[in-house]
Structure 1
Amino acid sequence: MKLDERHLVQLAAVVQTGSVTEGAALIGLTQPAVSRTLAMLEKRLGEPLFHKGRRPLEPTALGRALADHGQVMLAASRKASELVDDFRHGQGGVVRLGGVPFFMDALIAGMIAEFQHAHPSVRIDQSYGYLPDLSAAILADRIDIGVCPIDILDEGSGLTFQEILPAHNVIACGITHPLLLKRKITAADLVAYPWIAPPSGSPLLSDLHRILLWLGVSEIRVRYSGGSPLSVVNYMKATDALTVLPHSVVFALRRDKAITALPFDFPQPERALGLLRLAAAPRAPAVDAFAAHVGNSFATLRHLIKRHEQAVVWGA
């Protein structure tokens, strides 16, 4: 005998509440409709589902056994409804996120943690990449958001870009670097020390070349290249090496008291850090909520970084 799952759900609701009226209200039906279902079910089974004359309603052994099956379906239905509600309100789902390593590790990782305190049911799937990789991944529907610096977004790319922080690079070093004791740093001072080259594909690598051209320097001693953010920081802590980093990254790592910025100014790239997304993509509420959270976090961070920049005596 095949039973209608909806009938078992109605039976479970009545058994759970002990009343046809309350059971109907629990699952959004009317009392007459549920009463008809129970009468039809008893007729089909040829057995009573409730003991007569008992209040609250008391199920028979058969009624209890069938209600247990209905309760499983009722719980699954509730969970599915909650999942849909969470999805619609940005409280559930998956955000597929890719970004440039230094920004992801120093800044975005903490923002992910803050976001999930308020959205614990949202899962974040993170990957790394630079602009070409992130653009390709978005267009191929492998990620929803790319966090990266951009100078110009090609027209007709099918992507949108939301600026969250203007570019400002610094020459970074360990906090005990000898050049921090100098009142005025020169190009010759910078050349005298070893350098860490940013990874291939990183905009920081082209920024380093532009700085050298501006300084009139044809060559530097690159002792280390291609390291992860953590390895670069640890290398600078143990050596007198220099490198180019976004000031926001150095600012974010200031509490670790491992690296700092040299008070040396140079021309800045016309670039901005921002969120890269597919222009015509259907908007997933969790993705929109996360993008808004990152944007708001950087709005606050922008003022703190600006104050930190003003506290540094820049020279050239």
Structure 2
Amino acid sequence: MKIDERHLIQLAAVVKAGGVTEGAALLGLAQPAMSRALSMLEKRVGEPLFVKGRRPLQATPFGLSLAEHGLVMLAASRKASDLVDSFRMGRSGVVRVGGTPFFMDALIAQFCAEFQQTHPDVRVEQSYGYLPDLRAALKADQIDLAVCPIDILEEGSGLEFQQILPGRNVIACRSTHPLLMKRRPRPGELLDYPWVAPPPGSPLLADLRALLLSFGATEIKIRYSGGSLMGVINYLKAADALTIMPHSVVFALRKEKAITALPVNIPHPERALAILTRTDAPRAPAVDHFAEFVRSGFESLRHLIKRHEEAVVWGN
């Protein structure tokens, strides 16, 4: 026998609320419509669902048994409705974010944890890549947004970016490096030390080569390359080596007091850290909430980094 699931849910609502009028209100229905539905269900099953003449309304044992199944459906329906509402309001869902390794590990991972303090039902899936890979992943709908350094986007790319931090590199070293004893190390003095190369594919690698050439280097002393952010930090802590890093990354690690920036002003890259998204793809509300959270977080960071830059790095 086929029973209309809606009728079971309506029966459950009446039993749960204690009356037809109350049950109708629970489901947002009119009382006459609820009465007709219960009458149709009784005719369908051929058994009374409520004890006749009993006030307040009392379900028969058979009616209670059917109502139990309806309660399961009612609970599932409510959960589904709550899920839809939560998703539409950005309180649940999945955020797939990709980005360059140093920024993701030093900054974005912390933003993810802070975001989930107010959005505990949003799952964040983090991945790594540089601009060409991230651009391809966005177009293939493998990620929802990317956080990466960008210099220029070709017209008609189908992508848009929102700048969240201007490009600014520093020369990073361990906090007890001998060069920190000098008020203003000269470029030639930096060439006396070995260097750590950023990972292959990183725009920092081109920045490092250009920097050392501008210092007059005829050969580049690369002692270590290809490491993760943690690998580079651990290497710097144990050696007098130098490397190039975004100032925001060094700033994010300042409380650990393991690495710092040399007071040497170097050219700024012609790029900015940005949130990159597709222009033609619908996004889950949680993705937009996360992007706004990151943008707002970097807005606050920008002022702190600027003060740190003026007071610690260049002192002007």
Structure 2 length normalisation: TM-score? 0.97
- CA drift at 1:163: 0.3
In the alignment, what sits opposite 1:271? 271
In the alignment, what sits opposite 2:171? 171
Give the aligned residue type for 1:57: L
In the alignment, what sits opposite 1:182? 182
- Secondary structure at the residue paired with 2:308? helix
- CA drift at 1:308: 0.4
For the residues of structure 1 that align with 2:173 and 2:116, how far apart are their CA atoms? 33
Q: Deviations over 1:202-236 (max 9, x none)?
A: 01000001111211112222111010111111111
- Secondary structure at the residue paired with 2:236? helix
**Does residue 280 of the first structure (1) align with residue 296 of the second (2)?**
no
For the residues of structure 1 that align with 2:259 and 2:122, how far apart are their CA atoms? 34
Q: Deviations over 1:9-41 (max 9, x none)?
A: 000111111111111111111111111111121
- Secondary structure at the residue paired with 2:196? strand
- CA drift at 1:314: 2.5
Question: Which range moves more in the overlay, 61-70 or 183-192?
Answer: 183-192
Give the aligned residue type for 2:26: L
Give the aligned residue type for 1:2: K
For the residues of structure 1 that align with 2:44 and 2:151, how far apart are their CA atoms? 72
In the alignment, what sits opposite 1:88? 88
Give the aligned residue type for 1:5: E
Q: Deviations over 1:255-298 (max 9, x none)?
A: 11111000011111111000010011123211111111111111
Question: Which range moves more in the overlay, 60-69 or 199-208?
Answer: 60-69
- Secondary structure at the residue paired with 2:48? coil
CA contact (8 A) 2:261 2:313 kept: no
Question: Which range moves more in the overlay, 198-207 or 213-222?
Answer: 213-222
Q: Deviations over 1:100-143 (max 9, x none)?
A: 01111111111111111111111111100000000000001100
For the residues of structure 2 that align with 1:234 and 1:178, how far apart are their CA atoms? 17
In the alignment, what sits opposite 1:197? 197
Question: Which range moves more in the overlay, 162-171 or 184-193?
Answer: 184-193
Give the aligned residue type for 1:54: R
CA contact (8 A) 1:18 1:55 kept: no
For the residues of structure 2 that align with 1:2 and 1:153, how far apart are their CA atoms? 59
CA contact (8 A) 2:173 2:240 kept: yes
Question: Structure 1's 313 and 291: CA in aligned 2 closer, same or farther, altered over 3 A?
Answer: closer
The alignment-based identity, stated in percent, is 69
Structure 1 length normalisation: TM-score? 0.97
CA contact (8 A) 2:14 2:24 kept: yes
In the alignment, what sits opposite 1:234? 234
- Secondary structure at the residue paired with 1:312? helix
- CA drift at 1:57: 2.4
- Secondary structure at the residue paired with 1:32? helix
Structure 2: gaps (5+ residues) = none
Question: Structure 1's 114 and 313: CA in aligned 2 closer, same or farther, altered over 3 A?
Answer: closer
CA contact (8 A) 2:144 2:283 kept: no
In the alignment, what sits opposite 2:104? 104
**Does residue 306 of the first structure (1) align with residue 306 of the second (2)?**
yes
For the residues of structure 1 that align with 2:199 and 2:101, how far apart are their CA atoms? 10
After superposition, the CA RMSD in angstroms is 1.2
For the residues of structure 2 that align with 1:55 and 1:98, how far apart are their CA atoms? 62
Report runs of 4+ in structure 1 exceeding 3 Å deviation: 53-56
- CA drift at 1:147: 0.5
In the alignment, what sits opposite 2:133? 133
Question: Which range moves more in the overlay, 180-189 or 85-94?
Answer: 180-189
CA contact (8 A) 1:165 1:274 kept: yes
- CA drift at 1:56: 3.6
- CA drift at 1:52: 2.7
Give the aligned residue type for 2:138: I
Q: How many residues align?
A: 315
For the residues of structure 1 that align with 2:296 and 2:245, how far apart are their CA atoms? 23
- Secondary structure at the residue paired with 1:73? helix
Give the aligned residue type for 1:245: M
In the alignment, what sits opposite 1:54? 54
CA contact (8 A) 2:166 2:272 kept: yes
For the residues of structure 2 that align with 1:218 and 1:71, how far apart are their CA atoms? 79
For the residues of structure 2 that align with 1:296 and 1:247, how far apart are their CA atoms? 19
- CA drift at 1:313: 4.9
For the residues of structure 2 that align with 1:44 and 1:144, how far apart are their CA atoms? 50
Structure 1: gaps (5+ residues) = none
